[in-house]
Structure formats: structure tokens, C-alpha cells
Chains A and B, each alone.
Chain A
């Protein structure tokens, strides 16, 4: 059953990308355990606004775990202590009365802080722009059933395609690597017949862009997989490496 808890929040505040940030403490009472984590932050912001203070800035939008906009490092975990969900799906029943909850932004070279808990993830868009697509224009396409795709392959491609681009993998990685993100897209498209033609050039272009943008290397610690809210598997990274090696051999 739902109950109410009182909590202390230790939140990272930072005015801008170059400003020095620091933790601040806030008390929040009577939080329903049925509330979502972001509703709890709404309550805190309401309390701050009512006392004339500027609210805490954090990214959020769909609040149903699919847009990938929300982030937050909660008690040392991207998207908090619960498994297989994003921060917006996290509920306060996962916390105890009297608990102090630490909230930080994604901390990674690739994602500079914009303000407070909001970070800049445009690097992900740049990686996709480098090659994360099948080069087809609108129109003049053969019938959708012209090429049969075995169900197992379609399902596997779907699993890779489930990535929401939130950046938890980068935030979780001690090297700040974006390999899980990149490999999920490379795998999805390489598995499908429509994406095969460009599979190697795509892998090369996306990896090169990832390196250029300052993301770190993968050292197979699998923290990304453990923290991914969508359960994207590191077998995608193995597939990416395969595509990448093939590309290098061909060169």
C-alpha cells in the first residue's frame, strides 16, 4: 500500500557549462510512495518556487520511459536503483522514509552540463548523422513484403532498435564510451537486408565520429549493459567490432 515518506535530497546545482557546481541539500516531506521520482522533483520545485527560489533544471518529457529525455544519476546509478526502467518510471516506493537521495547529472566528457541536472547530448545526434541510416529517399520503394526477413532476425533487430538514446551507457562507463549506443544502431541496420549494403561504411563512419567527439574506448566492463534501461545487450558491441574489422580488412 502507498504511504508517505520524508526525504532529504542531495542535488547537484550548476549554473552553466563553465560554472563551478556543488551539491545542495533539500528537505521534502509527505512524498507519496505512489508518486514517480520526477513527480517528487516537481513537488520539490513547487516548494522552491513558492519560497521564491529558482527550480532545479532537469530534462524530462514523455514520462513513460520511451523518449529518452530524462537522465539523472540517482544514488550512484543512471536512472536510479530499479532495473530496466528510466528515471521517469522510477517510483518513490523504492526509497525509505528518512533516506537521503543523491541526484547528479550524467557525468561524461561527451555530455557537458547545461544547467543543474541537464546535459548536452547532441553528440549522439552527430554520431547518427555520420551514418546511422539506410540511404533511401522518400518514394519509389518496392513493396514492403518484397523481401522476407526471418522472424528471429527481425526480432533481434528490434531488440537493438529499442535504444532510446538516453546516454545512460555513456554515463555508466568508466571510460565514457558510447559503444553500446553506436553498436545498437549499427547492429540493427546490419542485421536487416535493407541495411546490409552500407553496413561496413556505416560502422566506420559512426565509430570515427564517436572517437572524434571525445567518447572513450570500450574495455568490456559491461556497466553499460547493466544500467541500460532498455536492456540493450553488449553482444551488439561484438557485432559492431565484427563489422568494423571487416571494414578494416577491406581497406
Chain B
């Protein structure tokens, strides 16, 4: 393992001055591009989720010439659309003591003190503008009878700062960004490339200058040039095969830029969401999330007595047979101050602890109850229906049980990746001219993301941060003429992509891409999942190598590599997931502490809580690619907490 003991400097570019002044300072002094020059500058944005669509639309409005890519048939289908619960902002409309500082503080604490203060403060600062923007676009947020906006509570906060649109907040926010994007497409400032997948980054003289992308309908490999490239391709949770991500969600763009020199930061920080519908069988293709908002009114429990759990598993008892005093509301018991609204990592581990101890329910024993009976009695069926109707319907369609009558069963599943491409304060990667926004970057959530903060970060990056910071870079590019895609750098990158595809098509083995991806997923879940140890991680590294070998000798891709080919698309992504899996295990092994979603079983408090080691691990791990046959190099970005007191997280 290469661990660079002397801290190699990473240039973070945080402005000087007090925390609350940094962003203002930055904007006051940054370079800008005048309107006439904007027209001459091209920007590629890969991805049309909340971050990608909002960035592409905003850059288009400013007058840049934007090329925007997505895999789906329409930009409106990016996986941000599936976010259910809500979006945080520090509006303090409820007069319950919220403020920019408190949102900042909750996010830093929720992230277990592994995020960068200046970035998080900026996020909290721009959060309010996001709500204003979305309302102006016609996003129909939930309202009170007086006509003002309603809020709900989410995990890790003691205020109600979450704005929502039924259980479809991500959909409504994305459709807002999509409408802004469509308006620019109509004006011609944004050109959309749907059913396209980025397959490589093109660099000229050390700067990002374009991409190679595959037209997923024709199978043709095409070249696109620009003055800057923005990667907004989401997280890599599908490394685990089963996750709450969409089937197409992948980490390939991240791996492509990583291989070109962008650091991959904190890959081991993955979020396991506590409230997902449990796995039903081996043909399961994905896991469905039940929004965290359900924890506002739902109570989580398992039976107090093992024999009751056993009875339920055997189908002899029903949850409604268990009397109130024989139920263990373990989150309320362990964390009286936050109760069912503890952060996700804490709730997930507590569920695993109960199930591992033999108290789990459901046929497999890998489930706990989320019970609404008390809320239905307190609030009435209609109120519960109004708040969560669509989620209850979704549950019933999948599980075939009525959650109004019997408690839901839930279990943790991979949901979100806090880790991602390293970026500086300007959201620029370690490759000049290559930016990374939204879930794809690592910057704001530390080791654990709070609920309703992903939407906030995606839109903050896209609407209010990148459109500023990218200009500081592009201002120096106004004399750079447009690039021709006939340049040798493009030809070479295209050839690399074509060779990789040919190599994959030639394997002609016996196993489907999915079957190999499932093997990788099981290794990840068993050894790099909710509880990790030195042994499990070392085992994972060995087994991932075996999967890699298996993949490159046994995978079978039918059809033609130069035509539409859905199996080839999957194969290219799985090849990259293998790389990411390895990085995750490697990173988890090096981080000899527990923090947020990263739980090393060797490092826990006597009560079983995550035990951080701030002396030795208060840093961002930045992994630098050094070639196919070499271990990546670890570079550290030290986290200097100047404005917050770092302490043990306490939700009791």
C-alpha cells in the first residue's frame, strides 16, 4: 500500500477570511467572462440530473454554448427524479431556530466531521436561493392552508427545514430544472444529446477539452470538443449490484476521469439507507427505497423476545399479535433525543445489530418493522394518507401487503455515495478544465449525508456555484479558439475506446454481464458493506481480483459492438464497477477508524457507536491513478476545522 506520509499538497483554493464571508469574497474577486466572449466558449455537461440539468440550463442562460449528454431517452429521467422526501434549506419559515449556521453545523456533524467546512457553509448559504428558484419555476411544493410553504423534519436535525412535494420532491425539482433546460434547448444555447454515454475524457496540453461518447442507438463512437468538461453523472452505488439506484446509474465517467488524473476521494464513504424494502429473492434487480420522511410518523421496532421473532419468521405470528410491551422500539430506546430520526448511518447499523442478534423479522430475518398504527390513531387515516399515500401505494404494489393495516418491513440498502471525484472549492477536479458536481463529487457530505441534502447539493452546485466558479477558469480561455475534433488527441482517445470495446466483444465467454456483476455485488455487500474489518477488506481485495479475471475471460456479450447493444453498455459499466469496488475496499482498509457510513468493526465505542480517530484520520483520501498494473497513490487533504469544534457525534 502506498501511503504518502508527507502530505502532498492538494490545492483546495479556499478563500481567506471568516467562514460566512468566504463565498462573498470569492464572488467579489473572481474573474468573469463578458457576454460576447461567452458565446465563443463551449462547455460539455455530462448528466442531466439535478446538478447536470441545473448547471447546463444556468450556463446556457448566461450565454455559454452548452452540450449536454444523458443516457436516457430524455433528460427528465435522470435518477434524481426518484428522490422522494424533500430538500433542505435554512429558511427558518417555521421559526424553530434554524439558520444558515445551523444547517451548516448539522451537515458537518451529520457527516461525522469528514467534510470541508468552507464548502458546506457555502452549501447552507445558497440553500435558500434554491427554494426561491424552484418556486419561480412552478415547482408545486406542499403548502399550508394559509398558502405558505410547508416543512417536515428529516434525520439528524431538530428543526423542520425540509421542503417537499408529496413523496415526489426529486421528480418535481428535476422537472423544474428540466423545464429550464428545455427553455435553453429551445433557444439553442444548449444542445441535447440523449441516449449517449461518455466513454472517455479528451485532454489537450493537460487540460480537459472534450469527450468521446457512444451513441447508444447507432452504436457509433463520436467526438465532442469544448473548452471545459463538467461531469455530473451521479454516484457509484450500483457497484453493489443491488442498490436503490436506477439500473443505468453508473460510475464510469468518474472512472474515466480518474484514469486521466482526477483524484477519486473517499471512495469508501457509501450510504446505506435504513428504510428500503427487503430483498425478496435471487432474481431481484434493484431495491426500492421508502422515504426517510416516513420516520417522521412511523416507529421502528422488532420484538423484544427472540421467540416472537422466530414465530414471525416461521409465519406463525403476525406483527399485530405482538403486544405493545413486547415490542422493542430500539431507536427510541437507544437515542431518546432523536428517536426514529437519527441519521441514516446510525439507523442502519442499529437495524443490522438487532437482526444479527436474532430479533429480525420477515421470512429471512433481515427486516425490521416500520409501524404507522400509532400515527394513524393520533392523526387519522386521512392525514397519514395525504402525507405518505404514494409511498404506501408503492409498498403495497411491491410487497402485496397493506401498510395501513400491518407494519411495513424495511432493511438497509446501498443508496448514495458520499465519496466521489475530488474537487477544490471551485468544484474543479485535479484535471484543469474538468469540473465535477452533484453526487459525482465528494465535497459536502463527509462520511454520511443527511436526508434531503442530496437535492440541495445537486441544485446548489448546478444553479449557484458552478456557474460562478467555472467562469474563473473560462475567463482565461477567451482567446482559445474552438477545437477541431480532428486533432490527434481525439483520434487517440477514440481509438482507445474502440479497442476496449473490441477486446470485450472478443472474449465470447459463457457468463452474462449481470451474473458477474451480481458476484461483485455480493462481495461488496458481505465484505465492504455495513460492517467492515481488516480481514473482510483484505478478502474483498483478493476476491475482486478474481471477479476481474472472471470478467475478462468469461463474459459473454452477444450482438455487434458497432451497433446498439445493451449488453455491451452494461459490460463497460461493470468493468468500471470492478475498479471502483477495488478502490472502495482499498480506501476502507486504509481508514482505520469508524466514521459516518464507514464502520470498521475494530473501531467502535463500548455502546457500539462509530469511533473516529481525529488525530490520524481527519483527512480526505485522494486516490491517484498510476496505471493498470499499479496500486493507486494515496494523497491526503488535511481537514482543518477552524470554525466548528470537532466532537463525538451524539444523538442521545
Contacts and interface: CB of A to CB of B under 8 A. Distances in A.
Contacts of B554: none
Nearest to A49: B512
Interface string B151-166: 0000000000000011
A35 B281 contact: yes
A64 B289 contact: yes
Interface residues of B, number: 82
Nearest to B135: A144
A62 B140 contact: no
Nearest to B91: A144
A139 B129 contact: yes
Contact of A84 (B82, B170, B393): B393
Contact of A36 (B146, B168, B285, B564): B285
A150 B148 CA distance: 8
Contacts of B129: 139, 141
Given A134-B138, A139-B464, A67 B397 contact: no
A7 to B, nearest CB: 14
- Residue among B54, B78, B285 with max Cβ neighbours from chain A (10 Å): B285
Given A61-B247, A165-B76, A132 B182 contact: yes
A183 to B, nearest CB: 15
A54 B397 contact: no
Nearest to A190: B138
A78 interface: no
A228 to B, nearest CB: 14
Contact of A42 (B91, B394, B397, B514): B514
Given A54-B559, A144-B91, A189-B138, A85 B397 contact: yes
A82 interface: yes
B406 to A, nearest CB: 15
B82 A122 contact: no
A220 B171 CA distance: 28
B61 interface: yes
Nearest to B183: A133
Interface in A60-98: 60-69, 82, 84-85, 89-91, 93
A138 B73 contact: no
A69 B559 CA distance: 23
Given A132-B182, A144-B132, A46 B515 contact: yes
A38 interface: yes
B573 interface: no
B281 A154 contact: no
A62 B148 CA distance: 32
Interface residues of A, number: 77
A138 B58 contact: yes
B20 to A, nearest CB: 20
B138 A130 contact: no
Given A61-B246, A136-B136, A144-B131, A46 B514 contact: yes
Interface stretch (A18-26, A156-164, A171-179, A239-247): A156-164
A59 interface: yes
A38 to B, nearest CB: 7
A194 B137 contact: yes
B196 interface: no
A67 B567 CA distance: 21
A239 to B, nearest CB: 15
Contacts of B75: 125
Contacts of B478: none
Contacts of B566: 55, 57
B576 to A, nearest CB: 18
B535 interface: no
A43 B24 CA distance: 55
A114 B75 CA distance: 18
A93 B283 CA distance: 15
Interface stretch (B2-10, B173-181, B301-309): B173-181
B647 interface: no
B284 interface: yes
A59 B133 contact: no
B77 A61 contact: yes
A27 to B, nearest CB: 17
A134 B248 CA distance: 30
A9 B75 CA distance: 32
A96 B638 CA distance: 60
A124 B74 contact: yes
B192 interface: yes
B144 interface: yes
A67 B183 contact: no
A32 interface: yes
A53 interface: yes
Contacts of B139: 161
B140 A66 contact: no
A160 to B, nearest CB: 8
Contacts of B148: 145, 148
Interface string A39-58: 10011001011101111010
A136 to B, nearest CB: 5
B278 to A, nearest CB: 11
Contacts of B289: 64
A128 B168 contact: no
B74 A121 contact: yes
B321 interface: no
Interface string B66-84: 0000001111111101100
Nearest to A34: B280
Interface of B: 54, 57-58, 61, 72-79, 81-82, 91, 93, 129, 131-149, 165-166, 168, 170-172, 175, 178-180, 182-183, 185-186, 192, 194, 217, 246-248, 280-281, 283-286, 288-289, 393-394, 397-398, 400, 463-464, 467, 510, 512, 514-515, 556, 558-559, 564, 566-567
27 contacts: A34-B280, A39-B283, A42-B285, A42-B514, A43-B283, A46-B514, A50-B510, A52-B556, A55-B567, A66-B170, A67-B81, A69-B73, A85-B397, A90-B397, A93-B400, A125-B74, A125-B182, A130-B186, A136-B180, A138-B54, A138-B58, A138-B180, A141-B136, A144-B91, A162-B166, A192-B138, A195-B138
Interface of A: 2, 32, 34-36, 38-39, 42-43, 46, 48-50, 52-55, 57, 59-69, 82, 84-85, 89-91, 93, 114-115, 120-122, 124-125, 128-139, 141-145, 148-151, 154-155, 157-158, 161-162, 164-165, 188-189, 192, 194-195
Given A46-B512, A125-B182, 16 more contacts: A34-B280, A42-B283, A62-B79, A67-B81, A122-B74, A135-B183, A137-B61, A141-B132, A144-B135, A144-B149, A145-B91, A150-B143, A155-B140, A155-B143, A158-B166, A165-B74
